[in-house]
Amino acid sequence: MISLRKAFNMVVELGVPLNSIECDVDDSLGLILEEDVYATENVPSFRTSAMDGYAIKSEDLRVGINKLKVVAKVFAGQTFAGILQSGQAIRIMTGATVPEGADAVCPQEFVEISESLKDQVYIPTLLCANENIRFPGEDIESGQLLLSKGQQIGPSQIGILKSMGNTKIKVIPKVKVGVISTGDELTESGVLKPGQIRDSNRPTILASLKRLGVTPVDYGIVRDDLNAIEEAFSNAARDCDLILTTGGVSVGEADYISTVLNKICNGNMQSVKVAIKPAKPLAFGVTAQTGCPLISLPGNPVACLVSFHLFAKALIKKMMGHRVENIRTIRAKAGDDFERFPDGKLHLDRGILNVSNEGCLKVTRQAKQGSHMLRLFAESNVLICIPDGDGVVKGSSVDVIPLELNIFEEY
């Protein structure tokens, strides 16, 4: 058996980040930027009113000129062609250009208007110069470094780029991942014949890939037949950046995956036993003809998903340009005694991480831990790392591996 760390490193070594492409900013959400982006414009680009109110000269108010004649009205998107003179005010809306000659905007709440004032407003307060005016470059200054190479594009980054007028950027593209299930017992749908089960691994992996923001390609179910497996794997390898397969990696008589991998990878493959439970068997390699990395996950549904979270996700992230160094863990308090027997393996038990009433992270373990129990996996949000030995006692610290990206994001 090899350690989880060793297996992780070996899998991550299978691939490199994809070559960068130019992509529409609108399509770049979640991708990694492959260039530094500098501001080419000031934002805002003109003196902008921060309030609905009146553009005035602050000096007027200081010398007691409080009744001001309203000479024009400017809405957002408009400019006033003239120059504001002493004794004048201009009705202005948020986002409109502050007219030349004005050096403050008085919010409309502070302004008195009456019949007797006719076309004048009365401002009973003083204003500082520049009050309620947004200046060119206040948010973004032309020439400044806006976004750096290696940064992930989120919604705000898209907003920043668009506010600059950028429509294209250089990014690492989405990884195209082919997914194949293997097994004679598998069927897609319909009434089950004796001995048949429905394929749950492939749909779960395909959905997990979508959530990761990559491009999944569904290659269906392949029978436990050497030639069929070889053909399916080679076919997917011609079209994809990475292939994930499930089933057939243990040591049963119909477990052909290592034989096929050995052939299509020209010996450049590994079939390993990882010292973890579940997800011990794992095979991987790089195809000789197309250089496509391939990871064969175990067939048991929980083992398959644990393996996906530990290994496949890391390689995908690396190929998409992320820095991938180790499996990310969080420390939490054990909500119970987590008993186990020594067996030389790190147990990755399904659990639920919560914030306790005291504001600490607390983890509880699912009562059953079968590697076929998909329902209990679905009701879990972490894998609890219980080191080899007799277990972890209630209240002590334990590492957990989050299964979801934002496990506390609730509305």
Which residues have CB under 8 Å from 13's CB, separation 6+?
Answer: none
> Of 310-329, which residues contact ligand AMP (CB under 6 A)?
none
Whether the CB-CB separation of 139 and 120 falls below 8 Å is answered with no
Residue 99 interacting entry, from Mg ion, ligand AMP, none, C-beta within 5 to 8 Å by type: none
According to CB under 5 A, which residues from 155 to 214 bind Mg ion? 183
What DSSP assignment string belongs to 101-153?
A: T--EEEEGGG-B--TTTTTEEE--S---TTTTEEPTTSSB-TTSEEE-TTPBP
How many residues touch ligand AMP (CB under 6 A)?
A: 20
258 scored as a contact of ligand AMP (CB under 6 A): no
Residue 69's Cβ-side half-sphere holds a number of Cα atoms within 13 Å equal to 6
Question: Could you give the 3-state DSSP secondary structure of residue 250?
Answer: coil
Contact with ligand AMP (CB under 6 A) among 82, 159, 165, 252: 252
Q: Does 355 bind ligand AMP (CB under 6 A)?
A: no
**By CB under 6 A, residue 248 contacts ligand AMP:** yes
Going by C-alpha positions, the residue among 338, 358, 360, 356 that lies closest to residue 347 is 338
Task: Name the residue among 323, 287, 326, 318 with its Cα closest to residue 16.
Answer: 318
> Which stretch in 30-38, 43-51, 143-151, 177-185 sits in contact with ligand AMP by CB under 6 A?
177-185
Q: By CB under 5 A, is residue 247 in contact with Mg ion?
A: yes
CB of residue 177 to ligand AMP, shortest distance in Å: 16
For ligand AMP, give the closer residue by CB, 89 or 180: 180
146, interface contact from ligand AMP, Mg ion, none, CB < 5-8 Å by kind: none
Q: Please name the residue that has the structure tokens 């493959």.
A: 269
Which of ligand AMP, Mg ion, none is residue 399 near (CB under 5 to 8 Å by kind)? none
Among 15, 247, 285, 293, binds ligand AMP (CB under 6 A): 247
191-210: contacts with ligand AMP (CB under 6 A): 197, 199-202
Which of 338, 309, 325 has its CA nearest to residue 399? 338
Report d(CA 268, CA 190) in Å as an integer. Answer: 39
**Which is nearest to 285 in space by CA: 309, 308, 258?**
258
Of 54-62, 102-110, 292-300, 377-385, the segment contacting Mg ion by CB under 5 A is 292-300
Which listed option, Mg ion, ligand AMP, none, makes contact with residue 250 (CB within 5 to 8 Å by class)? ligand AMP
Q: Output phi, psi for 121, to 5 deg.
A: -120, 150
User: Smallest distance, Å, CB 180 to ligand AMP?
Assistant: 10
The site map against ligand AMP for 273-312 (x = CB under 6 A) is: -------------------------xxxx-----------
Nearest residue to ligand AMP, by Cβ distance, number only: 299
171 neighbors 210 (Cβ within 8 angstroms): no
Q: How far is CA 63 from the centre of its chain?
A: 57
Residue ranges in contact with ligand AMP by CB under 6 A: 181, 183, 185-186, 197, 199-202, 246-250, 252, 255, 298-301
Residue ranges in contact with Mg ion by CB under 5 A? 183, 247-248, 299
